[in-house]
Chains A and B, each alone.
Chain A
Amino acid sequence: MYSEKVMDHFMNPRNVGEMKDADGVGEVGNPTCGDLMKIYIKVENGIITNVMFQTFGCGAAIATSSMITELAKGKTIDEALKLTRDDVAEELDGLPPIKMHCSNLSADALRAAIEDYRKKNPGK
Chain B
Amino acid sequence: MKRIYMDHSGTTPIDPRVLEAMMPFLTEKFANPSSIYTEGREVRASLDQARVQVAKALNADAGEITFTSGGTESDNLGIKGIALGRKEKGGHIITTTIEHHAVTHTVDYLGENGFDISFLPVNKYGQVELETLENEIRDDTFLLSLVYGNNEIGTIQDMRDIVKLAHKHDVLVHTDAVQAVAKIPIDVKDLGVDLLSLSGHKIYGPKGIGALYARKGLRLAAVQHGGGHEKNLRSGTENVAGVIGLGKAMEIGEIGLTTEIPRVKAMRDRLVKCILSELEDSYLNGHPEKRLPHNAHFRFSYIEGEALLLNLDMMGIVASTGSACSSKSLKASHVLLAIGLTPEQAHGSLRLTLGKGNTDEEIDTVLEAVPKVVKKLRAMSPLGHGGGK
Contacts and interface: CB of A to CB of B under 8 A. Distances in A.
Interface of A: 2, 7, 10-11, 13, 16-18, 27, 31-38, 54-59, 61-62, 98, 102-103
Nearest to B345: A31
Query: How extensive is the interface on chain B, given as a class?
Result: 20 to 34
9 contacts: A2-B310, A10-B307, A34-B323, A34-B344, A34-B347, A56-B382, A57-B304, A62-B307, A98-B330
A13 B325 contact: no
Given A32-B343, A54-B381, 15 more contacts: A7-B310, A7-B314, A10-B307, A13-B380, A18-B382, A32-B344, A37-B382, A54-B380, A54-B382, A55-B382, A56-B383, A56-B384, A57-B325, A58-B304, A61-B304
B326 interface: yes
B308 to A, nearest CB: 10
Contact of B382 (A13, A32, A36): A36
B323 A58 contact: yes
Contact of B380 (A55, A58, A98): A55
A58 B307 CA distance: 5
Interface of B: 302-304, 306-307, 310-311, 314, 323-326, 328, 330, 342-344, 347, 379-384
A124 B104 CA distance: 57
A38 B379 CA distance: 13
Nearest to A27: B382
A124 B100 CA distance: 57
B347 A31 contact: yes
A31 B344 contact: yes
A59 B306 contact: yes
B330 to A, nearest CB: 6
A16 B379 CA distance: 9
Contacts of A56: 302-304, 380-384
B306 A36 contact: no
A19 to B, nearest CB: 12
A72 B344 CA distance: 30
A7 B303 CA distance: 18
Contacts of B314: 7, 11
Given A57-B325, A58-B323, A102-B330, A34 B304 contact: yes
Contact of B328 (A54, A62, A98): A98
B222 to A, nearest CB: 38
A18 B383 CA distance: 11
A44 to B, nearest CB: 25
Contact of A10 (B310, B342, B384): B310
A7 B379 CA distance: 18
B325 A58 contact: yes
A74 to B, nearest CB: 23
A58 B311 contact: no
Contacts of B330: 98, 102
A2 B381 CA distance: 21
Contacts of B311: 11
B326 A58 contact: yes
Given A11-B314, A56-B383, A32 B325 contact: no
Contacts of B384: 56
